[in-house]
Amino acid sequence: MQHPLPKLQQIPPTAVSVGDYEGLARERVSASAWAFLSGGATDEWTARENIAAYQRLTLRTRVLEDLSGGNTAVEIFGQRFAAPILLAPVAYHRLFHPDGELGTVLAAAAMQTGVVVSTQATTLIEDVARQAKTPLWFQLYVQADRDLTAALVRRAEAAGYTALVVTVDAPVTGIRNREQRAGFALPSDLEAVNLRGMRVPSMQAVDNGQLLLGGPLLASAMTWRDVAWLRSLTRLPLLAKGIMTAEDAQRAVAEGFDGIIVSNHGGRTLDTQPATIDVLAETVAAVGDRVPVLCDGGVRRGSDVFKALALGAKAVLIGRPYVYGLAAAGAAGVAHVIRILRAELEVTMALCGCKDLNAIDTARIRHAP
């Protein structure tokens, strides 16, 4: 299907930070969509802690370094990005703005940013790819029906996606009290179009009174045994998204993953997990330089990107921040959020004496007392 190009929207001149876009987004989406976007699991401690943990880390600036000729470029799996900030997979973009995923990839292309497209997108895998002028990675939720899962992988590869991000931390959706209170449900005119026609069991913990343990949902959930099968399906690099311990990081590499994303799903799956920035270093130490380690969760400032890189991340992904931009102003909002974070990263680098990403190391971080 051909989609018209998204129209660019006006950006208010007072929107100068991710926090400003959060405020605008809240005004522009329904109360239930807001609960889905901004909320986390149960008490939302982890969702808050992802942000707070970055704020506890302070910077050790170094002065009078030679800053000539620098840049923020990064290469991952031979793919070049203008900055180490990619867009994380987020379901249902059309819930937040009519341009949906097409608005997001238009902005990402303008900013030379990579996008991870969710299995639960509201635009077809192929239609997103046709619009994209930037590397797209496909996020895979392994479905109960493995043949249909294989079909998704083949479609993504055929459409030109350049990596497969396998989400491993959500065999069941977290319990989201805020969504429950707001009565969140996907509006009837929106659909996870890539799963059309598939028998998709509900990922809710307690569905129609049926208990989780011993039930069909977990019986068909992905396990380590599926990794070799995934590997046999595709030549694309495979990343495991949702690793939070050194043990699982080591196992993921041993089982054949080509990259790791340290993530607690933005605090949306299991509350009281630690902040991702607090487990990043142990994960990086566990895998060494065998595969790239990326991380997501709580990045709201360019200085947060700097801190994640200092603790060993190859790049970060942002989730809610760019969706705030999308909700506030469509593609223009997404591009502006990326621009803001990149400008903040560049200023942080310059003032910490780092002209490129290789110069950012743990000596630039001081843990708060």
Ligand X SMILES: CC(C)CC(=O)C(=O)O
Mark the binding-site residues, compressed into ranges.
Answer: 89-91, 118, 139, 141, 167, 176, 241, 263, 265, 268, 296-300, 319-320
- In three-state secondary structure terms, 338 is helix
Contacts of 54 (CB under 8 A, 6+ apart): 275, 277, 298, 299, 300, 301, 303, 304, 307
Q: Which residues pair with 241 in a beta bridge?
A: 167, 261
Min CB(91)–ligand FMN separation in Å:
4
Contacts of 90 (CB under 8 A, 6+ apart): 118, 319, 320, 322, 323
Nearest to 229 by CA among 168, 150, 118, 152: 150
Termini Cα distance of the chain? 56
Binder to ligand FMN among 8, 67, 82, 91 (CB under 6 A)? 91
Sign of CA dihedral 248, 253, 256, 262: positive
Contacts of 142 (CB under 8 A, 6+ apart): 149, 166, 221, 222, 226, 230
Min CB(158)–ligand FMN separation in Å:
21
CB nearer to ligand FMN: give 328 or 354: 328
Question: Are 108 and 333 within 8 A, CB to CB?
Answer: no
Query: Using the rule CB under 6 A, is 149 a contact of ligand FMN?
Result: no
Min CB(120)–ligand X separation in Å:
4
Binder to ligand FMN among 41, 83, 90, 291 (CB under 6 A)? 90
CB nearer to ligand X: give 38 or 72: 38
Binder to ligand FMN among 120, 123, 131, 194 (CB under 6 A)? 120
Cα–Cα separations (whole angstroms), residue 275 to 55, 64, 87, 125? 11, 33, 19, 31
Query: Using the rule CB under 6 A, is 301 a contact of ligand X?
Result: no
Q: List the single partner that 173 binds among ligand FMN, ligand X, none, CB under 5 to 8 Å by kind.
A: ligand X
367 is catalytic: no
Question: Are 113 and 123 within 8 A, CB to CB?
Answer: no
Query: Using the rule CB under 6 A, is 41 a contact of ligand FMN?
Result: no
Min CB(155)–ligand FMN separation in Å:
17
Q: Which of 93, 97, 265, 336 is catalytic?
A: 265
* Chain positions contacting ligand FMN, by CB under 6 A: 36-37, 50, 88-91, 118, 120, 139, 167, 241, 263, 265-266, 268, 296-299, 318-320
* Chain positions contacting ligand X, by CB under 6 A: 91, 120, 170, 173, 203, 265, 268
